[in-house]
């Protein structure tokens, strides 16, 4: 363990868990993941097809050798992807098992994503989540499910079944409330069935930087620049402050307190897409500004390094300037920029992007299989 307290350690002192938005066989085999977890204060890992695509297409980390073995077993490209990624996820979960145990089952998770083609299919989302959880067979796995209407309904059933879930691609307040309420309903269902509810966990992953990107584009086209210009780079964080207010309302309610008596844990808000996309803004904007009790921030490696170097971890910044944030959101509506329309489009685009990333990954594996198959 390092003797120096890093900003990532300070986040945990403030009851926020920094997770890392990356994973690869290289990170696992070289000890980098273990070092980041047990020395740098990182407390969890998320994955997605783009991350696996980058790792596998590099041709490094031993993936070609593993791929050759899987080809010899007769697996197709989807089977190869699943086997390679499952191995990484399982090993990452084992590395973090100590942290999971020490945190009482709150941290030390690794997320593994469902095939995005099932985003609007409740039945398939449920069956796939069970299948993926069975493949990994570790208590510190989150299955990632997109937060569509069908995905939220699937969440209720999966929580009832005791499957821990990372609900992803949340952009709007209404989306968040629907997810959180389905989580509560799932806990109530599970308790009514006579099952324990103290071990099942969930996070609600809300994407931040993409909101500012799309809002800023519309603000640039707004005729009232006196009101529009001050809102640039502010709406993403302002919206998250409103979501955290709803989190407090829902998980400080009598409804949740009744569940907490039986050991239930709150569904933590997870800030996602926290790498700054606009170079005019601070490279640690979405970490510095979203420090909140009992939350997670899943952070790209580049942003983690910037935050360790010059970020600020001194207070719960989620509570700063909340009335001003509410005023900004009202002004946004007054000048004709519809945040609900923007977040609906972001969900639509996000689902398409997830599907494309998955398709690109499968194509990368298909090409790699051909190369490996012809290697001597």
pLDDT score at 1: 43
Task: Check if 352 is active-site.
Answer: no
pLDDT tens-digit series, residues 187-232: 999 999 999 999 999 999 999 999 999 999 999 999 999 999 999 9
Query: What is this structure's pTM?
Result: 0.94
The overall longest dimension of the chain from CA atoms, in Å, is 66
Query: In terms of Cα–Cα distance, which of 356, 154, 197, 354 is closest to 272?
Result: 354
pLDDT reading at 88 higher than 50? yes
pLDDT score at 10: 96
What sign does the dihedral 2-107-26-306 (CA atoms) show?
negative
Cα–Cα dist 316/200, whole Å: 27
The residue from 10, 25, 144, 265 that is catalytic is 144
pLDDT score at 376: 38
356-363 CB contacts, 8 Å cutoff, 24+ apart: 357/48, 357/49, 357/50, 357/53, 357/116, 358/49, 358/115, 358/116, 358/117, 360/49, 360/50, 360/53, 361/49, 361/50, 361/52, 361/53, 361/56, 361/81, 362/77, 362/78, 362/81
Three-state secondary-structure class, residue 166? strand
pLDDT tens-digit series, residues 308-339: 999 999 999 999 999 999 999 999 999 999 99
pLDDT score at 3: 53
pLDDT tens-digit series, residues 345-372: 999 999 999 889 889 889 988 888 888 7
Q: What is the mean pLDDT of the chain?
A: 94
**Which domains are seen in the chain, by residue range?**
7-367 (3.20.20.70)
């Amino acid at each position: 363990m390092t003797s120096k307290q890093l900003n990532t350690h300070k986040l945990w002192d403030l009851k926020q868990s920094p997770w890392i938005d990356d994973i690869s066989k290289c990170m696992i085999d070289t000890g980098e993941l273990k070092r980041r977890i047990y020395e740098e204060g990182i407390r969890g890992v998320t994955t997605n097809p783009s991350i696996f695509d980058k790792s596998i297409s590099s041709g490094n980390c031993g993936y070609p050798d593993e791929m050759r073995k899987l080809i010899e077993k007769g697996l197709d490209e989807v089977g190869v992807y699943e086997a390679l990624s499952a191995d990484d996820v399982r090993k990452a979960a084992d590395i973090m098992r100590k942290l999971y145990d020490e945190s009482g089952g709150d941290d030390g998770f690794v997320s593994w994503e469902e095939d995005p083609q099932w985003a609007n299919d409740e039945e398939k989302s449920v069956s796939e989540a069970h299948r993926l959880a069975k493949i990994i067979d570790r208590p510190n796995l989150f299955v990632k499910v997109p937060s569509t209407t069908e995905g939220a309904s699937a969440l209720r059933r999966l929580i009832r079944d005791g499957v821990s879930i990372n609900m992803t691609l949340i952009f709007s307040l209404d989306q968040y409330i629907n997810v959180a309420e389905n989580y509560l309903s799932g806990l109530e269902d599970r308790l009514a069935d006579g099952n324990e509810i103290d071990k099942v966990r969930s996070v609600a992953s809300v994407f931040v930087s993409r909101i500012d990107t799309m809002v800023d584009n519309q603000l640039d086209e707004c005729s009232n620049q006196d009101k529009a210009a001050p809102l640039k780079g502010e709406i993403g964080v302002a919206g998250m402050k409103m979501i955290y207010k709803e989190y407090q309302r829902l998980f400080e309610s009598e409804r949740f307190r009744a569940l907490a008596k039986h050991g239930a844990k709150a569904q933590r808000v997870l800030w996602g897409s926290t790498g700054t996309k606009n170079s005019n803004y601070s490279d640690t904007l979405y970490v510095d500004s979203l420090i909140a009790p009992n939350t997670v921030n899943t952070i790209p490696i580049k942003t983690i390094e910037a935050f360790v170097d010059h970020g600020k971890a001194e207070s719960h910044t989620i509570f700063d300037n909340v009335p001003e944030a509410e005023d900004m959101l009202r002004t946004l509506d007054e000048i004709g920029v519809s945040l609900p329309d923007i977040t609906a489009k972001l969900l639509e685009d996000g689902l398409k992007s997830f599907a494309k990333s998955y398709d690109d990954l499968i194509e990368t594996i298909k090409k790699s299989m051909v190369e490996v198959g012809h290697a001597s």
